Amino acid sequence: MTTRRDILRRIATPLVPLYGEREARSIALLAAAESSGLPEAAFLTDPQAEINLDGIDAVIEQLAAGRPVQYVTGTASFLGRRFAVREGVLIPRPETEELTAWILCEERNASAILDVGTGSGCIAATLAAELPHATVVAADLSEAALAVAAENCRALGVRVDLRRADALHDLAEVFPEPFDVIVSNPPYVPQRDRASMHPNVREYEPAEALFVPDDDPLCFYRAIARAGRRMLRPQGRLYFEIYHLYADTLRTLLAAEGYTDIRIRNDLFERRRMLCCRMN
C-alpha cells in the first residue's frame, strides 16, 4: 500500500540536497497535488489514504535534476488564480503578487493600464479580472511569452490586448494611447550575480527576462520611465518590481526623469522590492 505520506516522502527525499528539507517538502506537496488532481490540504489532513500516481517517477526525475516544479507541472498560482507556465516564460514570484496587490489597492479607478514585459500574463490578466472596467494592454518582446499570456487570458476569460514590443526601444510607438498606470517587472539581475543564483533559476528560466548588463543595470527602468513621460496621463503612475540593491539609485534616476511621489515598499521578507512614482 502506498499512502499520500509515502508519496510526499518519495518526492521530497532526493530534493533535500538541492533545496533543504522545508522547501523540498513544499515542492513535493505541490507536485503531488498537481499530479493527483487533489488539493494540497488532502495530503496533510488524510496522509494515510492510499494513492496510486502513474508517472510520478518521471516527475521525481525532473525535479531531482533541478527543473522548477512549476515547469514540471505546467502551472503556477498567482493571487488565487492558476496560470500556465513553461520554459521561455518567467515563473511568477510572491513579490510580483505583492506588486499587483498594491496596484489593485491604489488604482481601482484606473481606466487604462499597460503591463510591460508581461511574460505569462499574470499581472495583466489579474488586473483585467479584478478591474473589469479598465482597458488592459500588455507588451513582451518574446513571441513565446505572448503565446502563453494569450493562453492564460483565454483560460481566465479576460480581455487583454497583447502586442509585441521592445521595452528598450519602441514602447511609445507600439502603444500611442495614454495610460493611467504602467507596470513592469523588467529584467534587473546584474550578470555578475548570475553565478550565485540557485541553479533551478539560472539554468531553466529565460535569461533575457532576468539579467541585465553589469555596466547598466537600470537600463530597462530608464527606458520605460522615458517612454512613460510620453505615454502616461498627467498624474499617471509607474509601478516597478525592483532589485533591492538598486532601490536608492533607481529613486535618483526617476527623480531626474521628472517623476515625483516616489515610494518604495518592502516585500514580506523586508527587502525593498517595489516602487511607485507619479508623472506630473
In a domain, 96, yes or no: yes
d(CA 255, CA 262): 8
Asked if residue 155 and residue 38 are part of one domain, the reply reads: no
d(CA 162, CA 114): 10
pTM: predicted TM-score of the whole model, two decimal places: 0.94
Q: Of 113, 115, 77, 112, whose CA–CA distance to 97 is shortest? A: 77
Number of H helices, E strands in the chain: 13, 11
pLDDT for 121-166, tens place per residue? 999 999 999 999 999 999 999 999 999 999 999 999 999 999 999 9
Asked if residue 57 and residue 99 are part of one domain, the reply reads: no
What local confidence, expressed as pLDDT, does residue 272 receive?
A: 97
Asked if residue 199 and residue 135 are part of one domain, the reply reads: yes
Q: Of 90, 177, 94, 105, whose CA–CA distance to 137 is shortest? A: 177
CA distances for 64 relative to 5, 57, 172, angstroms: 19, 10, 44
Asked if residue 98 and residue 37 are part of one domain, the reply reads: no
Residue 1 in grid coordinates: 500500500
What local confidence, expressed as pLDDT, does residue 280 receive?
A: 86
In a domain, 73, yes or no: no
Q: Which letter does DSSP use for residue 49 in this model?
A: S
User: Tens digit of pLDDT per residue, the chain (280 long)?
Assistant: 799 999 999 999 999 999 999 999 999 999 999 999 999 999 999 999 999 888 899 999 999 999 999 999 999 999 999 999 999 999 999 999 999 999 999 999 999 999 999 999 999 999 999 999 999 999 999 999 999 999 999 999 999 999 999 999 999 999 999 999 999 999 999 999 999 998 889 999 999 999 999 999 999 999 999 999 999 999 999 999 999 999 999 999 999 999 999 999 999 999 999 999 999 8
Asked if residue 157 and residue 28 are part of one domain, the reply reads: no
d(CA 256, CA 73): 44
Domain boundary among 34, 65, 96: 65
Strands 259-266 and 81-84, by their bridges, are: unpaired
Asked if residue 58 and residue 93 are part of one domain, the reply reads: no
Asked if residue 213 and residue 136 are part of one domain, the reply reads: yes
What local confidence, expressed as pLDDT, does residue 25 receive?
A: 96
Q: Which residues pair with 113 in a beta bridge?
A: 136, 181
CATH of the domain at 115: 3.40.50.150
In a domain, 256, yes or no: yes
Q: Which domain holds residue 190?
A: 88-279
The total number of structural domains in the chain stands at: 2
In a domain, 71, yes or no: no
